[in-house]
Structure 1
Amino acid sequence: MVGLGLAAIGPGVGIGLIFAALVSGVARQPEAESRLRSIAILGFVLAEALFIISVALAFVLPI
């Protein structure tokens, strides 16, 4: 379970970087907000999916 806690750091940092880039991009080009938002949500979903898969593997694989 310690490994699972350490594995949560990666998606947390990734999601933070994704939304930081979204805010920066919208601040630079407000007219591109809808396109940037859809790309950011896709990145968020992919980062969360990797963490959810690691949680499932932590419970399925024997220690």
Structure 2
Amino acid sequence: MALADTSTILAAADAVSGNIATVGYGLAVIGPGIGLGILIGKTIEGIARQPEVAGQLRTTMFIGIGFVEVLGLLGLITGFLFP
């Protein structure tokens, strides 16, 4: 009887840890989302202050967006690779 109870508890613990890990990976995507908002907002602010450098700011913004999106995708895909 005690052996069955222990295995049930261990199975329940595995299920809970898997769900918590999934939530954790989902929360990992929130950081890049906030980063994108700040990045794009500051770029718009910079263009509004100095319109003559809009091309340089836009190029730099797109490079930054690429890096931030890679971080977000890594966090999302890690949840699928390591359940």
Q: RMSD of the TM alignment (CA)?
A: 1.0
State which of 12, 19, 35 in structure 1 corresponds to 2:56. Answer: 35
1:19-57 Cα distance to aligned partner (Å, 9 max, x none): 011111000100100000010111111000011112221
Please say if residues 25 and 79 of structure 2, whose CA atoms lie closer than 8 Å, have aligned partners that are also in contact. yes
What is the aligned-residue identity percentage? 39
> With structure 2 as the length reference, what TM-score do the two structures score?
0.70
TM-score (norm 1): 0.90
Which entry has the higher C-alpha Rg, 1 or 2? 2
Note the residue ranges of structure 1 that are not aligned, 5 or more in a row.
none
Q: Secondary structure at the match of 1:4?
A: helix
CA distance in 2, matches of 1:59, 1:34: 38
- In the alignment, the residues of structure 2 paired with residue 59 and residue 21 of structure 1 have an alpha-carbon distance, to the nearest angstrom, of 33
Partners of 1:58 and 1:8 lie apart in 2 by 11
Would you say the 8 A contact 2:29–2:76 is kept in 1? no
Q: Which residue of 2 aligns with 1:11?
A: 32
Partner SS for 2:55: helix
The offset of 1:4, in angstroms, is 2.0
Matches within 5 A, 1:38-57: 38-57=59-78
Instruction: Give the AA of the match of 1:35.
Output: Q
